[in-house]
């Protein structure tokens, strides 16, 4: 990772992040996560703030997150919600889920946020079977080989206008290697094919550099009938 990427990230974060009401809870969550030995694979501070801004821009009241870790991105996203909003976040590992619950409690978010522990695919199927109302904003950030099925389930939990974001779609540039034997790269490649081919969606993706290295994210919106030019 280039030193300048890190320095610029710090420069931008010092100026644009840190005055949010949840700033202290975010720092405390990161500290708790590192002390518990969780890998530092949470979104960066700027990425978290960007997620919060995108959720606010979309007017989200109901957010679904796939991949909680210790709840760092969850706290950012919950900061976009009104007092009667709802956020469900899905996490496989019991230890991560428990830590996230503690971090969310400390942030005063336990009433707004539900951490569901288990394989995300099972939880998504439960949400669908329970007739859960559509979400306004969905953040996909778990096991990348499953991104294609997560997208399919996300669409079933969406409405026209729902925003879907996926993290880590560039993978240091490996995404262009069609022969890659890394199932995460192949999962992302299939996911991007789906995003581009599905007429229910309009999507774009951006490469990013920063303190977390070279990667990128995809943003999609579920189209309404007026966007379907085939009609
Ligand atoms: N969104 C988090 C943040 O920025 O703070 C980071 C999430 S981390 C990149 C990915 C998380 O997905 C890990 O905590 C991992 O345990 C979880 N995960 C992996 N496979 C999963 C699965 N099948 N179902 C649910 N969660 C899964």
Q: What is the pLDDT of residues 191-228, one digit of tens each?
A: 999 999 999 999 999 999 999 999 999 999 999 976 66
Global pTM value: 0.97
Q: Is 230 within a domain? A: no
The residue whose CB lies within 8 Å of the most ligand 1 atoms, and thus the one to mutate among 39, 76, 104, 143, is: 143
Whether this model's ipTM surpasses 0.90 comes out as yes
CA–CA gap between residue 184 and residue 228 (Å, rounded): 31
CATH number reported for the structural domain that contains residue 96 in this entry: 3.40.50.150
Structural domain that includes position 59: 3-224
47 Cβ closer than 6 Å to some ligand 1 atom: no
Tokens at residue 223, please?
A: 């189209």
C-alpha 108: how far from its chain's center? 21
Q: Is 16 within a domain? A: yes
- Would you say 199 and 230 are in contact if contact means Cβ atoms under 8 Å apart? yes
**Closest CA relative to residue 147, chosen from 174, 185, 187:** 187
Which DSSP letter does residue 198 get? -
The residue whose CB lies within 8 Å of the most ligand 1 atoms, and thus the one to mutate among 69, 115, 121, is: 69
- Would you say 74 and 157 are in contact if contact means Cβ atoms under 8 Å apart? no
- Would you say 157 and 138 are in contact if contact means Cβ atoms under 8 Å apart? yes
Q: Is 173 within a domain? A: yes
CA of 22 relative to ligand 1 center, distance in Å: 22
Instruction: With a cut of 70, list the residues of the chain below it in pLDDT.
Output: 226-231
- State the pLDDT at residue 1: 75
For Cα atoms 141, 125, 157, give the angle at the middle one, nearest 5 degrees: 70
> Considering its fold, how many domains does the chain have in total?
1
Tokens at residue 5, please?
A: 């990427």
Q: Is 66 within a domain? A: yes
Q: Is 97 within a domain? A: yes
CA of 24 relative to ligand 1 center, distance in Å: 23
Ranges of H-type helices in 198-227? none
């Amino acid at each position: 990772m280039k030193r300048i990427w890190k320095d610029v990230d710090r420069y931008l974060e010092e100026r644009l992040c840190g005055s949010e009401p949840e700033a202290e809870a975010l720092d405390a969550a990161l500290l708790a996560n590192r002390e518990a030995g969780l890998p530092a694979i949470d979104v960066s501070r700027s990425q978290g703030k960007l997620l919060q801004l995108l959720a606010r821009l979309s007017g989200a009241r109901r957010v679904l997150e796939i991949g909680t870790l210790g709840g760092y991105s969850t706290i950012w996203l919950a900061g976009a919600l009104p007092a009667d909003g709802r956020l469900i976040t899905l996490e496989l590992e019991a230890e991560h889920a428990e830590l996230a619950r503690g971090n969310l409690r400390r942030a005063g978010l336990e009433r707004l946020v539900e951490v569901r522990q288990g394989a995300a695919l099972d939880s998504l199927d439960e949400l669908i079977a329970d007739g859960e109302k559509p979400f306004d904003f969905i953040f996909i950030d778990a096991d990348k080989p499953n991104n294609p099925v997560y997208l399919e389930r996300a669409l079933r939990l969406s409405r026209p206008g729902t925003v879907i974001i996926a993290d880590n779609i560039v993978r240091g540039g490996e995404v262009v290697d069609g022969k890659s034997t890394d199932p995460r790269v192949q999962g992302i490649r299939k996911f991007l094919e789906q995003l581009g081919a599905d007429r229910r969606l309009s999507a774009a993706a951006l490469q990013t550099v920063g303190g977390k290295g070279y990667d990128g994210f995809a943003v999609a919106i579920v189209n309404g009938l007026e966007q379907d030019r085939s009609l």
